[in-house]
Structure 1
């Protein structure tokens, strides 16, 4: 039986052409080894290309070079402030990560502004989707929900480009605005988890009065009084101190039926972490970076390295346990999309975040990037990591 495991490569160099040549050599060596094995290797059909933003201005040339070297491979990807591979991350240096797979051509479809979603009569039923996008895209959350509704499982995974010079995404072309990515059919197995990077600093509360992004009351009390209580501050706190502490305070929002209360002191997987944008101290009102509705659950929180490490280990161990159960097949390759505010420094040392993943899953082919927002299910997250493992026999 042909080997359908993924192959991957990564390289850093000031000249993207030399980095790409190094990646090509790495992939060619892996493919040659598999071709010599019993059954040979199935031809590559789908590839991922993640670029550090140093290379973003040359995205078209890089994509053209990939297509010329592997003309039968459909390429997707994006650019970010950092990219990652198995056990390693590249922040603030010119680097690229490539990964490719020998998936059946009928098992996936690319989509973009030039390639619309397949029609209901096409014979292809999307079950899941990898999505790349830009934060500047109007109504990106609405677009994600619409795309989620077009898949059988409703499950999306991916992230927003975080490039500082030129945000972009690729799907056999280079795009700005909108969404692009890959739709996967039911034959493509995957296990995906979201890991949170924040921890509640106070109790889970119920929103009792809100309008759009303005939060008036929690549990019948002024929202400002609640956050001051959780921060251990009084109403007489100086304005400059209040502005400083609120700039470092986040909120974890969840719907009433979320699992947010399943484990005390930890957010549920559906929790969306958002910034506090402003405060009306006179009326006790907070402005949040998302729409908030009556009945939602909310807890104030801060970024927490210890909680991030513990939660990443939890989700990686869950995935490993599911793989070891034998019900999902073996791991073929993985994608990891983490918040640009995470990475090694947040986990204690360079590469620590990716080394935790490798320690749990083994030296699995892995590609990913550090995003300006992470996509999971039908929502846009922040300060999280989305770890997805592709499985097969």
Structure 2
């Protein structure tokens, strides 16, 4: 399946099917003719053709003349009004940006090189960026935070998701660490995030715990607060909370609508502690939340309204980063998220993917959707 969406400064191509060479050819045909002075591209491929990514990137550079490509592998990818999951697919978008207004980077530690953050030739400062990361990289969260801090840039993006090769693209294929593209302040972006979980109790306080173990909440065994918030029905059979109930770690300085969702790893019913996929310390705020389709659908609409208000009808193209825990399996139908974006913004050229974590500002979230629009 393929479709053609046009913009004056961006071109979009996407296709799904069995033969990656045909998919590539279909995408290339859709972006022709290239925008005048096209110099930047984003490309996302499903993990079923991840092994072909080196060839795809080489061909794109050779046949479009565009050297600067960024992107990632996902178990699902998306384009305007459509989502491709569990099938070979490619989605790519090319654009013409001011010369010198962006730079690609790769990083496999948490110390960005000085060259990454130097001003553009015209003296413009870095302002924003798209970042992709390898979920297997132990330092991925620290690296994202380090790039955001060093470049003083607002980041959006996601961690690759794949059964075999969670690769990224930054000019060429990147097999570990993080990578992406940083834009200077000549590139104007509007961004928004939507949550996939909703709080089921108040913001509480960790009073004992370390690393990923929450031992006490509000001076009592953590399990007591957990059971109080999830209710009697689930408390009687804690085996049912897996994949339904999560820990939420509120972001300092914000209200409880901005929180990092983390999986529950273990519950010790004898000693009353809870293990989560995150780190805590005494004094940290914590809440419990539930995956909720109705609340997530409403919050998606809220986010789109907010982004549309700030874009003021000037959007030229978009990129959407969603979680593999969302999509059809969560929303109960194919293409719900991208359909909502198209309903709000029309046939805006859009690409993106479903990842193992979503990046906003300087943090990695989970079960969220992050939208960025070029103005």
Scaled by the length of structure 2, the TM-score of the pair is 0.91
Alignment of 1:10-89 (within 5 A): 10-28=14-32, 31=34, 41-89=35-83
Superposition CA RMSD, Å = 2.1
Cα separation, 1, equivalents of 2:330 and 2:70: 28
Cα separation, 2, equivalents of 1:370 and 1:236: 32
Partner residue in 1 for 2:176: 177
Cα separation, 1, equivalents of 2:252 and 2:165: 38
Partner residue in 1 for 2:143: 143
SS of the residue corresponding to residue 132 of structure 1 reads strand
Judged with a 3 Å threshold, the aligned counterparts in structure 2 of structure 1 residues 285 and 247 are, in CA distance, closer, same or farther, namely farther
Partner residue in 2 for 1:264: none
Cα separation, 2, equivalents of 1:107 and 1:362: 27
Judged with a 3 Å threshold, the aligned counterparts in structure 2 of structure 1 residues 230 and 16 are, in CA distance, closer, same or farther, namely same
Judged with a 3 Å threshold, the aligned counterparts in structure 2 of structure 1 residues 20 and 294 are, in CA distance, closer, same or farther, namely same
Partner residue in 2 for 1:37: none
How far off is 1:113 after superposition? 4.5
How far off is 1:232 after superposition? 1.9
Cα separation, 2, equivalents of 1:323 and 1:46: 22
Cα separation, 2, equivalents of 1:235 and 1:49: 43
Partner residue in 2 for 1:307: 295
How far off is 1:297 after superposition? 2.2
Q: What number of residue pairs does the alignment pair up?
A: 363
Partner residue in 1 for 2:129: 129
How far off is 1:314 after superposition? 0.6
SS of the residue corresponding to residue 32 of structure 2 reads helix
Cα separation, 2, equivalents of 1:356 and 1:102: 27
Partner residue in 2 for 1:38: none
SS of the residue corresponding to residue 267 of structure 2 reads strand
Range moving further from structure 2, 13-22 or 296-305: 296-305
Does the 8 Å CA contact 1:256/1:295 hold for their aligned counterparts? no
Residue 245 of structure 2 is aligned to residue 257 of structure 1 = no
Partner residue in 2 for 1:163: 162
Alignment of 1:329-348 (within 5 A): 330-348=314-332
Judged with a 3 Å threshold, the aligned counterparts in structure 2 of structure 1 residues 189 and 291 are, in CA distance, closer, same or farther, namely same
Cα separation, 1, equivalents of 2:117 and 2:342: 39
Q: 1:351 aligns with which of 335, 340, 365?
A: 335
Partner residue in 2 for 1:112: 106
Does the 8 Å CA contact 1:4/1:42 hold for their aligned counterparts? no
Range moving further from structure 2, 107-116 or 127-136: 107-116
Cα separation, 1, equivalents of 2:56 and 2:73: 12
Does the 8 Å CA contact 2:133/2:176 hold for their aligned counterparts? yes
Does the 8 Å CA contact 1:7/1:100 hold for their aligned counterparts? yes
Judged with a 3 Å threshold, the aligned counterparts in structure 2 of structure 1 residues 89 and 255 are, in CA distance, closer, same or farther, namely closer
Partner residue in 2 for 1:93: 87
How far off is 1:219 after superposition? 1.7
Does the 8 Å CA contact 2:119/2:125 hold for their aligned counterparts? no
How far off is 1:121 after superposition? 6.9
* Structure 2, gaps ≥5 residues long: 1-6
SS of the residue corresponding to residue 315 of structure 2 reads strand
Cα separation, 1, equivalents of 2:178 and 2:340: 30
Cα separation, 2, equivalents of 1:301 and 1:25: 45
Cα separation, 1, equivalents of 2:287 and 2:345: 32
How far off is 1:257 after superposition? 2.2
Spell out, residue by residue over 1:315-350, the C-alpha distance to the aligned partner (whole angstroms, 9 max, x if none).
Answer: 1111111122x7xxx111100000011113422321
How far off is 1:228 after superposition? 1.1
SS of the residue corresponding to residue 127 of structure 1 reads strand
Cα separation, 2, equivalents of 1:189 and 1:141: 25
Q: 2:365 aligns with which of 358, 378, 381?
A: 381
Partner residue in 2 for 1:265: none
Judged with a 3 Å threshold, the aligned counterparts in structure 2 of structure 1 residues 235 and 313 are, in CA distance, closer, same or farther, namely closer
How far off is 1:289 after superposition? 0.5
How far off is 1:105 after superposition? 2.3
* Structure 1, gaps ≥5 residues long: 32-40, 261-267
